[in-house]
């Protein structure tokens, strides 16, 4: 159980490390890694800063050393 928790934390750290697109109309593919208490994970992300100059969308997925996958999606509006 503890290793699962550590691996999940590594996945969260990897996802947090993903950069995202910031220039209007541009997209980005990104990769990042994370480690916590001997467990590791990597993350892959896609993001797009919409041409309206305000909206950013982001998708990410993670895979850790315990063989578990995770995912997240988000959207933000900058004003």
CATH assignment of the domain containing 33 = 3.30.1300.30
Residues contacting residue 1 through CB under 8 Å, at least 6 positions apart: none
Q: How many structural domains does the chain have?
A: 1
Q: How far apart are CA 62 and CA 5, in angstroms?
A: 14
Domain that holds residue 54: 2-77
Q: How far apart are CA 19 and CA 35, in angstroms?
A: 17
Tens-digit pLDDT profile for residues 10-67:
999 999 999 999 999 999 999 999 999 999 999 999 999 999 999 999 999 999 999 9
pTM for the structure as a whole: 0.90
Q: Which helix (H) or strand (E) segment is 44 a member of?
A: strand 39-49
Q: Is the pLDDT of residue 1 over 90?
A: no
């Amino acid at each position: 159980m503890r290793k699962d928790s550590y691996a999940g934390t590594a996945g969260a750290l990897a996802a947090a490390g993903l950069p995202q697109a910031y220039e209007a109309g541009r997209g980005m593919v990104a990769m990042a890694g994370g480690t916590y208490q001997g467990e590791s994970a990597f993350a892959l992300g896609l993001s797009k800063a919409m041409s309206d100059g305000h909206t950013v969308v982001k998708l990410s997925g993670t895979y850790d050393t315990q063989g578990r996958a995770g995912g997240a999606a988000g959207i933000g509006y900058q004003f």
